[in-house]
Structure 1
Amino acid sequence: MDDDRPDVLLTGLLFYDLVLTGLGRPPTPGEEIWTAGMGCGPGGIANLAVAASRLGLRTCLATVFGDDFYGRYCRDVLRRQEGVDLSLSRTADGWPTPLTVSLAVSDDRALVTHGRQPPYSQDALVGDPPQARTALVHLEAEPHAWLAKAAANGTRIYADVGWDPTQEWSKDLLEQLALCHAFLPNETEAMAYTRTDSADAALGRLSELVPVAVVTRGRDGAVAVDQLTGEYADVPALDIDVLDATGAGDVFGASFVAASLGGWPLAERLRFAVLVAGLSVQHHGGALAAPGWHGVESWWRSLTDPELKRAYGFLADRLPADVGPPVHHAPVTPPARSC
C-alpha cells in the first residue's frame, strides 16, 4: 500500500515478565513449589507491540524503559529482535522497570508486580500523535488527551479495558467510546460496564456506542457486531491445551486489528483473532508467545480436522507469500549481552 503511516500506534506501561508454569496448584503460605516451566521477556504494552509486529504491521510504541538490566533487555528485544519503532519511547534514569511474576495455574494465572508510576505520562510520551492507521489503547477512568488528538487526525481507535480494582465499573468510562472505532472487552468487563447478564446482551448495548463491538469469552470464543457492514459473528474457541494465558487478550486484539486492516469479513477477523490468541497460550509469557504468520501457517499446514479445515479455509488466500522465520519464544533466562 502507498501509505507510510504506522499501522499501529501504542502507548502504555511496559513490564519485565517472569512466568512460571506447571504449578498444578497455587502455593500456600510457607510452602515451596518447584515448577516444570519458566520463561521471561517483555510484557504489558509489549504484548500488543510484538503481536502486531509479528503479523507484519508497522508498529510504533511509546513507553518508558528503566535504566536497569530489565529495561535494556526489553528495549533490545523490541527494537532489534522484533522491529518495533521506539522513537517515541524514553529511558528514565533511576527508575526501575516494573517486574511481574506470573503464576500460571490451569487456564488462568495470578500476578505479583513490583513497580512505580513512570516519570512520563502517556500524553508526555505521545504529544501530538503521529498519524497512524490505527491505535490500540487500554481505556482508563481518566481520559488521555492524546486519544482525542489521534482520533481527530484520522487514526482509528481500537480499545479494550482492564479489570476495575474498585469493582464500581463506572459507566463514565464508556463515554470514551465516542472516540473509538472498535471496543474489545472480555465477557466479565462487558457485562459489568453495561449492567447486563450475558455476553450477547452486553454486545447489544455496546453496539449502540461504537461501530465495531467485540466481546471475548475465553474458552467459549468470541462474539462481535460490525454496524458499518451489518455483520454479526459468533466464533467458538479452539480446543487447545493452555500452558500460559498471559497476554492472550492482547494477542487477540492485535490479530483482530491486523485482519481488519486487511478488510476481511467480520467472521474471518474473529476466527483469525481466536486462532492467533489460542496459539499464543501454548507458550510462556505474553509478548514472546505471539505466533506471528509463521506460527499460523504451521498450524494451517498441519491441520487434519476436516471441520476446522473448512472453518479456516480462508487462510489459504490470506497467508502472505513470505511468512518469515520461526519466532523467538520466551527464554528461561535472558542472554547476557550488551544492549
Structure 2
Amino acid sequence: MPPSVPAPTGPAAPTGAETGVETDVVFGGTVFCDLVMSGTPLPGPGEEVFADGFALVPGGTANRAVATARLGMRTGISAVLGDDVLGEHVRTVLDREPGLDLRWLQRAPGRQTPVTVAVTNEHDRGFITYEEDGTGVPQQWPGALPSARAAHVGIARPLPGWVGRLRAAGTTVFGGVGWDGTGTWSPQVLRHAEEVDVFVLNDLEALNYTRTGSVEEAARVLTRHVRTVVITQGRDGVTALDAGAEGAASLVRVPAVPVRAVDPTGAGDVFTAGLMTGTVLGWDLRTRVAFAGLAATSSVRSLGGSLSAPRPGELLEFLAETAPEGDWSTVRDWLQGTATLQPT
C-alpha cells in the first residue's frame, strides 16, 4: 500500500506469520490471460460475428488481486504462469498495479499460461478456456507465508496445506467455486467449505450444490458447513447469511445498483474483492455486502475484468451518480478519505 493511504481500521494482522512480509489480503489461484470480445453473442455453427470491443488482460485470480490493490489493500498473489509470451504479458500488466506484490508469482518452464476467451454482451457471456497441468493454484507456497488479514482460495478441489496454516494464524479465509462443467456438483465441495470462513458463490452454483429450490434455503444449507455464506444473484442483488454464535443467524438481502452493463466479465471477482476489503476494514455484514455490490456494478460499465476494477475515487463518483437507497455513510466516509490520499 502506498505510504500515504491510511491503514485499515479493522482487526489487527494475524501474529502467526512465517515471515516479516505483512499484507492485508493474499490470493492463491489460477491466473488466466483473458481475451475479451464484447458486444456480440457467441457465433452459431459456421457463423462469424464481429465484436465492438477487445481487451487482452490478466484474469481469474488476478481480477480479485487487482481489485483489492486498487481499493488500497496491500495485496499478495501466488499463482503459476507459463513461461510463454502470454505469461510475460500478464506479468508486465500486473507489475504496473501499485500495492500488488508479485514476489510469489511463479513461471513454469515449458508451460502455456492458462487462456480464456470471453465473448460478452450486456445480457450474458460465454467462455472457452485452455489450461495445462503445472500451472494454476500453487500447492506449495513459494517461501515463507506472509501475514494476512484475509485470504482467498478456490475450494472446488482439496485445499493446499498453506490455507490451513494461514487460517490457524488468524487469517479470515474466503472460498469460491467456478462453474462445474461436468454437471455433477459434487457434495465434496461442501466439505471443502468447512475449511474456510466465508463462502462466496453465485445463485446457480448455490442451488446446484445444495439441491435446493431457493437462494435463502441454499444459504441455510451452506451454513451447516461454513459460518458465513454470500450468494450473488446478478440483477437481483445479494443474499448473505452469517450463522453467528449459538444459532444467532443474521440474514442480509441487498438489492443491486441498476446500471447498463458493457461487460460483466470479472464482476464476481470484483465483488469478492470488495467483500474482503470491507472485512479487513471491520465493517458489518450489510455494509460489506453493499460495498462489494457497488464495486462489482461499477466494474461492468467497461471492458475487461481486471482493467475495469474501480478505485475509491471512481466509486465515490459512482455512488453520487446512482444514489442507491440505504445508509451509505460508512462507505462514503471511507471512500472520501481514501480517494483524497490514494495516488491514481
Q: TM-score, normalization: structure 2?
A: 0.87
Counterparts in 2 of 1:298 and 1:186: CA distance versus 1, 3 Å: same
Alignment of 1:1-339 (within 5 A): 1=7, 3=13, 5-23=22-40, 25-118=41-134, 122-126=138-142, 129-228=145-244, 230-303=249-322, 305=323, 308=324, 310-323=326-339, 324-325=342-343
What letter is aligned with 1:111? Answer: F
What letter is aligned with 2:236? Answer: D
**Partners of 2:309 and 2:150 in 1: CA distance:** 19
Deviation at 1:120, TM superposition (A): 7.5
Deviations 1:186-234 (A, max 9, x none): 1111112122110000111122322211111111000112233753210
SS of 1:60's equivalent? strand
| Larger deviation, residues 75-84 vs 94-103 | 75-84
Deviation at 1:121, TM superposition (A): 5.4
* Structure 1 contact 215–222 (Cα < 8 Å) conserved: yes
- Structure 1: tracts of 5 or more residues without a match: 327-339
Deviation at 1:98, TM superposition (A): 2.0
Deviation at 1:310, TM superposition (A): 4.4
Counterparts in 2 of 1:244 and 1:265: CA distance versus 1, 3 Å: same
> How many residues end up aligned between the 2 structures?
322
**Partners of 2:194 and 2:45 in 1: CA distance:** 46
Moved over 6 A (4+): none
Q: TM-score, normalization: structure 1?
A: 0.88
Counterparts in 2 of 1:119 and 1:28: CA distance versus 1, 3 Å: closer
SS of 2:43's equivalent? coil
- Structure 2: tracts of 5 or more residues without a match: 1-6, 14-20
Deviation at 1:271, TM superposition (A): 0.8
**Partners of 1:173 and 1:88 in 2: CA distance:** 26
* Structure 1 contact 89–125 (Cα < 8 Å) conserved: no
* Structure 1 contact 11–126 (Cα < 8 Å) conserved: no
SS of 2:90's equivalent? helix
Deviation at 1:142, TM superposition (A): 2.9
Deviation at 1:114, TM superposition (A): 2.9
SS of 2:101's equivalent? coil
SS of 2:157's equivalent? coil
Deviation at 1:314, TM superposition (A): 3.5
**Partners of 2:274 and 2:225 in 1: CA distance:** 22
How high is the sequence identity, in percent, across the aligned residues?
Answer: 36
* Structure 2 contact 79–135 (Cα < 8 Å) conserved: no
SS of 1:249's equivalent? helix
**Partners of 2:22 and 2:343 in 1: CA distance:** 25
* Structure 1 contact 13–45 (Cα < 8 Å) conserved: yes
